Amino acid sequence: MTYITKTVTQYGRTERTMDMPRFAADLAKELGGKVLAHDIDRHSIMIGADRLDLHFNSWKGHVHVSIASPDVAHGDWSTYDKAQRVEDANVNPDGRKVASIAKDIKRRVIDASQSALAARRAYAEAQKQNRASIVKHADALKTACPKLDIRVNDREQRAQIYSGPSQYYLNATMMSDGKVSIERIGSISAKTFRKLIAALEADKSE
């Protein structure tokens, strides 16, 4: 079956047009998925919770196939973690029967990416828990120290802490595990400083 419908040469470069809607529909049927149309050269197929993205390169005449987890928001998975890197592939839509292309895509992209997609979802769940955790820790600190000015950024999973109306200057950061890093503290008396050091030493020994 032919999906590339026209080939023309413009400015010394060969360009092709393709019946992507028909290719995506036929491929989805073989893979047991549902087509999500975007534009003439880009379509997606939902296969379970995963999204298979198809992009036709009119110059090279191939379809680039990639996969994603649409339930994981951008920024909720790590681009640096090799365990979260999914596989992709280029296929010639007219090189063989669509059933053979589907089988190849399933092996090289869908099945090969399942562990990475699972890692992305696990990472995203951890981010969700961390965001809930920073809110919980910040609320507890607000109750214990009502004079503090605490500003929560749950997307970054941290809270900035300022002295608020108190007489001393304080700038600190609380992380999702409840630990606080003091970036700066204003001038305090030697007596107060000794109390602070004693509290830190007591905390360290626990």
| Shared domain check, 118 and 24 | yes
| Host domain of residue 157 | 145-205
| Shared domain check, 116 and 31 | yes
pLDDT value for 167: 75
| Shared domain check, 109 and 150 | no
Average pLDDT over residues 182-187: 91
Q: Per the structure, how many domains does the chain have?
A: 2
Sequence-distant (≥ 6) Cβ neighbours of residue 1 within 8 angstroms? 26, 94, 97, 98
Position 46 in a domain? yes
Average pLDDT over residues 145-162: 93
Closest CA to 159 of 144, 146, 171: 171
Q: Read off the pLDDT band of 205 (50, 70, 90).
A: low
What's the chain's average pLDDT? 92
Q: Read off the pLDDT band of 87 (50, 70, 90).
A: very high
pLDDT more than 90, % of the chain: 73
Position 153 in a domain? yes
Q: Read off the pLDDT band of 35 (50, 70, 90).
A: very high
| Shared domain check, 116 and 83 | yes
Position 11 in a domain? yes
CB 65 within 8 A of CB 89: yes
pLDDT value for 16: 86
Average pLDDT over residues 159-170: 86
Cα(92)–Cα(65) distance, integer angstroms: 11
pLDDT value for 6: 81
Q: Read off the pLDDT band of 85 (50, 70, 90).
A: very high
pLDDT at 14 over 80: no
| Shared domain check, 160 and 109 | no
Cα(90)–Cα(60) distance, integer angstroms: 10
